[in-house]
Amino acid sequence: MKDLRRYLALKYIQYLVLSSSNTVSTLLGLLGSAYTMILLQSAKVSFKSTAVLISSLAQADILVLLSLVSDVVLGSFGAGVSPVASAIVPILLTANTHISCILLSCVAFEAYLITFLPLESRPLRTVRKARLLCRGIWVLVATECALFLVDEHLRAGGASSPCPGPLGLLFQLCGAAAALLTSLSYILGILLRIINVYIYYKIFFSMSPR
């Protein structure tokens, strides 16, 4: 449907074109996600694997709402908020960005398969496998957020008085993993942008009149 294509275009601009989010793009993204979730409940929309990916993409904006609510709640406590608690808002926004970028790349890859390998890829493009993929992405990003929280705990003072034994070693490993993810996130973001541009470049010229 045209509305779903417009929504995807909005999300591509928000996450894969703009260098950083702003108030206007965030507000438009929230409104677009709310409308899309309502639209996907319509019987007119064929609920295929692409619709599953778009539905999960729209649901990811719930994290933005949670970050706004958390920001208001934490702001009411003033300076008494702990560093770990104050890190919740940026972590939620990071989770939303990472989930959205990965799902947008999945939608682009599926469009590539539909265009160039429609029959061969049909066993992969099922609703069940799309749901499993979405769950895997959410679990992966949730693990990433947990690592960031542990890293923030260590920075807030846990590193100066580490836990003894295996627990302390586990905390240090989580902190090292979080630092590695932070350093790789920028590179991965650039790679996703390049891959998406290449995919739609190939699709566009394959559909253009010879």
Averaged confidence pLDDT in the chain: 85
Q: What is the average per-residue pLDDT within 169-194?
A: 79
Q: Do residues 15 and 33 make contact, with C-beta atoms less than 8 angstroms apart? A: no
Q: How is residue 86 written in tokens?
A: 């104050």
Q: What is the average per-residue pLDDT within 118-138?
A: 95
Its pTM stands at 0.88
Close Cβ partners of 151 (under 8 Å, ≥ 6 residues apart): 174, 175, 178, 179
Amino acid of residue 134 = C
Q: How is residue 210 written in tokens?
A: 């010879």
Instruction: Measure the CA–CA gap between 114 and 122, rounded to whole angstroms.
Output: 8
Q: Is 168's pLDDT higher than 70?
A: no
Q: Do residues 55 and 106 make contact, with C-beta atoms less than 8 angstroms apart? A: no
Q: Do residues 45 and 36 make contact, with C-beta atoms less than 8 angstroms apart? A: no
Extended beta strands in 97-193, E state: none
What does the pLDDT look like over 49-79, one tens digit per residue? 999 999 999 999 999 999 999 888 887 776 5
Q: What is the average per-residue pLDDT within 164-176?
A: 65
